[in-house]
């Protein structure tokens, strides 16, 4: 379905030249695609193809080309920007199917990685440590030592480093190697020499340097980031095949890949640092949510993406997503610049099951695209959240994906009935239990995110994303005291829309470890070096100088504390600017942890500096509906019976066709809105309004 003309197009020149933008998000269940010519937007979904990423992407391209009245070759030949969010790297990390990686480190620190800081993961109802990326036998220590000031305490035994690499290759068959020494972030002399010599001795072995990839303090996080990049260095094979096929079909330039920081990088840069693509899809969704927030005039929000395999959430504050420079990634604690996204296993494809205590559980296993939920009719027999929604009446089996895919309601009912027998209930009660467990998991996760950041949920709006999000987010808002939910027309493909909007984003960091106030010239010299290198990165990505922008951030903490906070660094690092930065840090520290946590007179430490370069590219735009809004109420398309409680409560509610809603129209729940690729549940007393971009705003009463 095409949207309508947008008078506020950002890319008028691209539109005038007949250029197109495409965004693709490869999810665990569906591959979503959005096509924009600056005036109209078309969208489509195709089943994701596990193991052959390109096949699902090409099929999605064919579908969206048909909806735009084009053949795939004509469409691709006019594409000026092709953005891609991919699960290729994510899948290798999650399934632990990456390359066999060896590690050469400072002697005495061989057990640093095996004694990992990890958050235990759920497996068959038990919390267990995640599978390791590397075995202890694949780690060798060599003689060298540099102290925290960069002074050499023990020279590098270069021959020993080369012998260690050869030993790991010959004895264990490692396929990639990481060299990461203690304090190499301050002085890279030893690490650079070891990497150079090993590459000369073993030219066919990929060798990565921890300090080269991420030169900041904390040797554990620096090392795990390098290990992740080595581990996933073979993950982009499917991407390379897709790039070749798209070029054969007429795409003028390779796709841009969305990375975990919510920006884009070229395919070549993705090969150099593949681990940053691990949160590609969720980060693209946040970029799409930001576009929705800007159009609605919202600065504080939480993007809630309920897709096929998970529920992802990211808080937007003052118009920008909250970020982090280190954290957990699929069971591995690491350093990585990323949008601060948390996930719980409560997606539409999450499987429901009964644990050893006889309790109903949902996730973490997912049905995926094949066989998928039982209602897909592809051989799946275990009930999922989607099956529960079909049984409860929220999803019309005949209108799934706009009627492109019919669901098997009987199979969904049978799956829920079989599960219900294990807990002593009938099919609808079991389905309601699945619904409630998924809802409670999402509410609990969101409440924890707000609490950890010292934020009030009621001061935020929810941006609803994902195919199932519209059925849960009003209920989540009611429980958290949130009064506004934004459901964009592109809600089920918002990550794909974000992939068509993410600017090039390149970051460079340097470790500082200085007590403030400090020598301004020393810091500004580092800032100049970072700026030069970041501009060079953007130039290598093909970004013209007029389309580049640069900003700096400082990581600060009270002296010797473990964690730091990020503060914008504007206007250099003069003594006056340092005072302002310290005050900004203390204000954020007090807001987040309470004024009582501030320590009077405690020195503030500059841990690291970061340069962030943005390269503006062609973007898709949110199209506006030119039809005049009318005060008359929308027409009811049909009615449906939905199950709303464990005690057998049922409601007969009106159903509205999302395609027929006009800007300015309002309706009050209880009601359902069926759109092409999603369904929206409007609880009782909730008011829904359609805006000029066809975003539906739900107003939740207190």
Length of the chain measured in residues:
702
Confidence (pLDDT) at 13:
32
Last residue of a domain, one of 176, 209, 231: 231
133 and 202 fall within a common domain: yes
- Is residue 443 included in any domain, yes or no? no
Average pLDDT over residues 251-264: 92
Q: Which residue has the higher pLDDT, 246 or 127?
A: 246
pLDDT at residue number 365? 80
Mean pLDDT of all residues in 158-176: 96
Q: What is the pLDDT of residue 51?
A: 67
Are 205 and 104 in a shared domain? yes
335: which residues sit within 8 A by CB, 6+ positions away? 214, 216, 218, 221, 222, 224, 225, 325, 326
Rounded average pLDDT over 320-327 = 88
How does pLDDT run across 15-71, given as a tens digit for each residue? 334 689 999 998 767 889 999 987 788 998 888 876 677 888 999 999 999 999 999
Boundary residue ending a domain (597, 615, 633): 615
- 634 contacts 662 by C-beta, under 8 angstroms: yes
Question: Which pLDDT belongs to residue 405?
Answer: 77
Beta strand 207-209 with 176-180: parallel, antiparallel or unpaired?
parallel
Q: Is residue 412 part of a domain?
A: no
At 118, the pLDDT band (50, 70, 90 cuts) reads low
Q: Are residues 223 and 240 in the same domain?
A: no
* Same domain membership, residue 103 and residue 199: yes
Question: What's the pLDDT band for 628 if we cut at 50, 70, 90?
Answer: low
Same domain for 37 and 122? Answer: no
- pLDDT tens figures, 480-522: 999 999 999 999 899 999 999 888 999 999 989 899 999 999 9
Name the helix (H) or strand (E) containing 422. Answer: helix 409-423
* In a shared domain, residues 270 and 183: no
- Residue 610 scores a pLDDT above 50: yes
Judged against a pLDDT cut of 80, whether residue 138 lies above it is answered with yes
Which of the listed residues 563, 591, 615 is the one where a domain comes to its end? 615
Does residue 545 form part of some domain?
Answer: yes
Mean pLDDT of all residues in 247-262: 93
- The top-scoring range by mean pLDDT among 22-31, 43-52, 117-126, 457-466 is 457-466
Q: Calculate mean pLDDT across residues 239-265.
A: 92
Residue 329 falls inside a structural domain = no
Same domain flag for 117 and 203: yes
214 and 266 together in one domain: no
Which tokens sit at 440?
A: 């409670």
Domain membership of residue 701 (yes or no) is no
Provide mean pLDDT across the span 214-222.
Answer: 90
User: Which pLDDT does position 457 carry in this prediction?
Assistant: 95
Which tens digit of pLDDT belongs to each residue from 377-421? 888 899 999 999 999 999 999 877 766 678 999 999 999 999 999
- Assess if residue 309 is contained within a domain: no
Whether residue 2 is predicted with pLDDT greater than 90 in this model: the reply is no
* 8-state DSSP, 316: E
Q: What is the pLDDT of residue 483?
A: 96
- pLDDT for position 29: 72
CA atoms within 13 A on the CB side of 278: 29
Nearest to 207 by CA among 103, 136, 135: 103
Report the pLDDT value the prediction gives residue 4, as an integer from 0 to 100: 36
Q: Is the pLDDT of residue 629 over 70?
A: no
Region 218-236: mean pLDDT is 92
- Whether the pLDDT of residue 305 is over 60: the answer is yes
Phi-psi region for residue 69, left (φ > 0), alpha (ψ -120 to 50) or beta? left
**Tens of pLDDT along 276-292?**
998 888 899 999 999 99
- How far lies 115's CA from each of 74, 109, 111, in Å? 55, 10, 6
Highest-confidence segment of 327-336, 378-387, 619-628: 378-387
Separate counts of helices (H) and strands (E) for the chain: 18, 35
Condensed to tens digits (0 to 9), the pLDDT of residues 356-386 reads 888 899 888 888 767 889 999 888 899 999 9
Kindly state whether residue 679 falls inside one of the protein's structural domains.
Answer: no
**Residue 410 maps to a domain:** no
Burial of residue 158 (number of CB atoms within 10 Å: 0-12, 13-18, 19+): middle
- Neighbouring C-beta atoms of residue 107, cutoff 10 Å: 17
Q: For the chain, give the percent of residues with pLDDT over 90.
A: 62
The pLDDT value given to residue 349? 86
- The whole-number pLDDT of residue 14 equals 34
Q: Please check whether residues 30 and 114 belong to one and the same domain.
A: no
**Confidence grade of residue 125 (pLDDT, cut at 50, 70, 90):** low
Question: What pLDDT score does 38 carry?
Answer: 77
Average pLDDT, the chain: 89
pLDDT at 647 exceeding the cut of 80 = no
Question: What pLDDT, in 10s, does the model give residues 8-18?
Answer: 333 333 333 46
Output the pLDDT for position 16.
36
Nearest to 500 by CA among 247, 241, 256: 256
Whether 1 shows a pLDDT value over 60: the answer reads: no
Residues 160 and 185 in one domain: yes
CATH number of domain containing 159: 3.40.50
The pLDDT value recorded for residue 330 is 77
Write the CATH number for 591: 3.30.1490
Contact 661, 487 (CB under 8 A): no
User: Above 80 in pLDDT, residue 648?
Assistant: no
596 and 513 assigned to the same domain: yes
**Do 73 and 126 lie in a common domain?**
no
**Helix crossing, 189-201 with 158-172: angle to 10°?**
50
Tally the domains of the chain.
Answer: 3
Domain with 586, as residue range(s), is 504-615
> Could you tell me which residues are beta bridge partners of residue 26?
31
CATH code assigned at 256: 3.30.420.40
């Amino acid at each position: 379905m095409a949207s309508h003309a947008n008078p506020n197009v950002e890319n008028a020149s691209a539109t005038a030249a007949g250029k197109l933008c495409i965004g693709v998000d490869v999810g665990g269940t569906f591959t979503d695609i959005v096509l924009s010519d600056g005036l109209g937007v078309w969208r489509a979904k195709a089943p994701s193809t596990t193991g052959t990423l390109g096949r699902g992407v090409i099929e999605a391209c064919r579908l969206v080309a048909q909806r735009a009245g084009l053949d795939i070759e004509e469409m691709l030949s006019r594409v000026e920007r092709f953005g891609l969010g991919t699960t290729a790297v994510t899948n290798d990390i999650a399934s632990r199917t990456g390359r066999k990686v060896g590690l050469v480190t400072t002697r005495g620190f061989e057990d640093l990685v095996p004694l990992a800081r990890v958050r235990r993961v759920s497996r068959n109802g038990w919390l267990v440590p995640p599978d390791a990326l590397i075995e202890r036998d694949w780690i060798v220590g060599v003689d060298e030592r540099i102290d925290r000031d960069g002074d050499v305490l023990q020279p590098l035994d270069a021959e020993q480093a080369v012998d260690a690499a050869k030993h790991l290759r010959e004895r264990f068959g490692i396929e990639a190697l990481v060299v990461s020494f203690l304090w190499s972030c301050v002085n890279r002399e030893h690490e650079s020499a070891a990497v150079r010599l090993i590459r000369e001795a073993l030219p066919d072995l990929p060798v990565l340097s921890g300090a080269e990839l991420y030169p900041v303090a904390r040797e554990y996080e620096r090392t795990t980031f390098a290990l992740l990049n080595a581990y996933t260095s073979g993950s982009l094979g499917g991407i390379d095949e897709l790039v070749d096929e798209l070029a054969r079909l007429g795409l003028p330039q390779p796709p841009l890949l969305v990375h975990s920081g919510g920006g884009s990088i070229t395919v070549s840069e993705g090969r150099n640092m593949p681990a940053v693509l691990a949160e590609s899809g969720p980060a693209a969704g946040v970029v799409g949510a930001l576009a929705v927030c800007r159009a609605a005039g919202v600065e504080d929000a939480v993007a809630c993406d309920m897709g096929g395999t998970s529920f992802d959430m990211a808080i937007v504050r003052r118009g920008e997503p909250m970020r982090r420079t280190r954290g957990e990634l699929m069971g591995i604690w690491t350093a990585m610049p990323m949008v601060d996204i948390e996930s719980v296993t409560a997606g539409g494809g999450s499987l429901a099951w009964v644990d050893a205590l006889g309790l109903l559980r949902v996730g973490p296993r997912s049905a995926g695209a094949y066989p998928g939920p039982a209602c897909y009719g592809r051989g799946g027999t275990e009930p999922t959240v989607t099956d529960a929604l079909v049984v409860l009446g929220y999803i019309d089996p005949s209108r799934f994906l706009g009627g492109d895919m019919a669901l098997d309601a009987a199979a969904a009912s049978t799956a829920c009935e079989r599960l219900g027998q294990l807990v002593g209930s009938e099919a609808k009660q079991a389905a309601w239990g699945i619904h409630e467990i998924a809802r409670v998991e999402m509410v609990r996760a969101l409440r924890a995110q707000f609490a950890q950041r010292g934020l009030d949920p009621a001061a935020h709006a929810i941006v609803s994303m994902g195919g199932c999000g519209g059925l849960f987010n009003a209920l989540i808002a009611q429980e958290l005291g949130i009064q506004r939910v934004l459901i964009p027309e592109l809600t089920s493909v918002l990550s794909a829309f974000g992939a068509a909007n993410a600017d090039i984003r390149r970051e460079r960091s340097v470790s500082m470890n200085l007590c403030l106030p400090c020598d301004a010239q020393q810091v500004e010299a580092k800032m100049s070096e970072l700026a030069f290198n970041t501009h060079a990165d953007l130039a290598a990505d093909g970004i013209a100088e007029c389309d580049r922008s640069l900003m700096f951030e400082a990581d600060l903490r009270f002296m010797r504390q473990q964690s730091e906070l990020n503060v914008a660094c504007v206007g250099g690092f003069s003594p006056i600017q340092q005072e302002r930065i310290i005050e900004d840090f203390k204000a954020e520290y007090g807001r987040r942890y309470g004024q009582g946590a501030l320590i009077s007179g405690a020195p503030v430490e500059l841990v690291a500096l970061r340069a962030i370069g943005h390269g503006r590219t062609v973007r898709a735009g949110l199209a506006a509906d030119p039809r005049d809004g009318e005060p008359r109420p929308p027409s009811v398309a049909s009615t449906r019976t939905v199950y709303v409680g464990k005690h057998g409560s049922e409601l007969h509610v009106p159903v509205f066709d999302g395609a027929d809603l006009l800007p300015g129209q309002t309706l009050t729940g209880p009601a359902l809105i069926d759109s092409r690729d999603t369904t929206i549940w409007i609880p009782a007393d909730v008011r829904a309004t359609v805006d000029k971009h066809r975003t539906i705003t739900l107003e939740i009463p207190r």
